Amino acid sequence: MHFKVSEIVNALHAPAVDEKFADREVTGVTFDSRQIKPGMLFVPLAGERDGHEFVPAAIAGGAAATFWAADHTENIPQDFPVIQVPDPLTAMWDLSAHYLHKINPKVVAVTGSNGKTTTKDMVATILATQYNVAKTYANYNNEIGLPYTILNAPTNTEVLVLEMGMDRPGQIAHMTKLAQPDVAVITMIGEAHIEFFGTRAKIADAKMEIVQGLSADGTFIYNGDEPLLRERAEKVPQKKRTFGDGPSNDLYPISVQPAPQQTQFVTNKWSDVTFTIPMMGEYNIFNALAAIQVARQFHVLPEKIAQALRKFVPTANRAQWLKGDDGEQILSDVYNSNPTAVKDVLHDFVQVPTTGQRIIVLGDMLELGDHAAALHAGLAQSIDPRQIQQVFLYGNEMQALAAALADKYGAAGLHYYPTGDQSQLIKDLQATIHNPDLVLLKGSHGMHLENVLAKL
């Protein structure tokens, strides 16, 4: 991002600021005064506290200018470029649209119930082999994160890779109409956020909103194994490409070689190229296939794709192997959780050989609403005492799974802890785990199993 204050004022049709500030350079944006750096524009957003309270701290930190809501008539900073707008968040959206038009990159938009962050990161890693690429930071994938990502993209960005999350209908539609992607990707449809939507069909409808902003000559890439997507894709007039498990898809694996630290596969398109991703889990192949399909739209050679995927660095706590204090191997997958994701990681975890015990630590899967008890209990079908010797369950919702496993496991192998009893969970895990055990940690981010991980 690179603006003069006067350009921001003009782009937003805002009241003029003092002429002595008109040529001041603005080189970034933030809504968090703790992250302010000299030259940044500060956006005071409404949250638990009014963001306007933090404007003095932003100014002290070197902010070049600040938005200011017009209905805030008190404590307006003096002798400083204050850009008055009806609403700071809307102004950030409008400015990001102006900036996107100004730098004019190709845009890739990614959504899905599982795998969207990993796919976004894979796409960015591959395309960076021959383009200047910017991408959504961490999981800044909502109405605040999207304009934040756009405005902080360097002016020489050629491809912008944007992750789009949601928890209600209309959210992705709003974001895709701003981004106007050239390529839109849906990784899969699961049960995530079913609390807000009620059915997987309605989740599919919400995810399909991503094509509402897709350019007329753009490409829609989706998981062709999902009937809900195949049915809805028929109405999409743009070019379509699928990935999945079987030959009905445009791109699919013809051989797979799983291993604890990596997964190798060959696709139907290039039988002489072996792709390697440094992640356990056959389910991650489909994230890679989605990324490969995107790369094909940008004419990246398969050899370059393979080289980039070998060097791919996944986001922390996503199928990440770590070594515990007692020498045990820990598979940390505590970033988020839903039934599909848990079943997938369990399927691969039990295939990792060990001379010790396999121990799983599962936290509540949040945002499942009225379906929560049944979906938690349903995980029992994927948990076998012959493969997993110790089960630790944390959270009020996990009580349903504990009840479903009671007949399979005795008290020595099944351990349940209600929400808030994490300290006892940690103590019992530390007393149970030894080298050479394998440990899996999986739960929704709101259960904060990363604290358990840190203690191990």
CA distance 214 to 162: 13
Annotated binding site: 112-118
Mean pLDDT across 191-199? 76
Q: Quick one: pLDDT at residue 193?
A: 67
Q: Quick one: pLDDT at residue 117?
A: 92
Q: Quick one: pLDDT at residue 317?
A: 67
CA distance 17 to 257: 62
| CB neighbour list of residue 296: distance below 8 Å, 6 or more residues apart | 241
Q: Does 259 lie in the same domain as 297?
A: yes
Residue 69 tokens, joined: 């809501």
Residue 303 lies in a domain: yes
Span 88-115, pLDDT tens digits: 999 999 999 999 999 999 999 999 988 9
Q: How confident is the model at residue 336 (pLDDT cuts 50, 70, 90)?
A: confident
Residue 96 lies in a domain: no
Residue 98 lies in a domain: no
Residue 296 lies in a domain: yes
Q: Does 414 lie in the same domain as 300?
A: no
**CATH number of the domain that residue 441 is part of:** 3.90.190.20
CA distance 409 to 389: 9
Q: Is the dihedral of CA 395, 401, 402, 403 positive or negative?
A: positive
Q: Does 127 lie in the same domain as 260?
A: yes
Q: Does 148 lie in the same domain as 54?
A: no
User: Among 57, 86, 115, where does a domain finish?
Assistant: 86
**CATH number of the domain that residue 131 is part of:** 3.40.1190.10
Domain range for 202 is 105-310
Task: Give the range with max mean pLDDT: 135-139, 332-336, 395-399.
Answer: 395-399
Q: Does 199 lie in the same domain as 157?
A: yes
Q: Quick one: pLDDT at residue 367?
A: 85
Question: What element of type H or E holds 363?
Answer: strand 358-363
- Is residue 402 within 8 Å of 414, Cβ to Cβ? yes
Q: Does 131 lie in the same domain as 20?
A: no
User: Among 252, 286, 310, where does a domain finish?
Assistant: 310
- Is residue 332 within 8 Å of 361, Cβ to Cβ? no
CA distance 6 to 10: 6
Q: Quick one: pLDDT at residue 206?
A: 96
Span 29-70, pLDDT tens digits: 999 999 999 999 999 999 999 999 999 999 999 999 999 999
pLDDT for residue 400 is more than 80? yes
Span 251-293, pLDDT tens digits: 999 999 988 889 999 999 999 999 999 998 888 999 999 999 9
Annotated binding site for ATP: 112-118
Distance from chain centroid for Cα 455: 25
Mean pLDDT across 308-319? 85
Q: Does 162 lie in the same domain as 54?
A: no
Q: Does 335 lie in the same domain as 278?
A: no
How, if at all, do strands 390-394 and 183-186 pair? unpaired
CA distance 175 to 170: 9
Q: Does 391 lie in the same domain as 327?
A: yes
Q: Does 279 lie in the same domain as 197?
A: yes
Domain tally, the chain:
3
CA distance 219 to 210: 11
User: Among 277, 310, 343, where does a domain finish?
Assistant: 310
Q: Does 302 lie in the same domain as 160?
A: yes
- Is residue 318 within 8 Å of 287, Cβ to Cβ? no
CA distance 430 to 449: 14
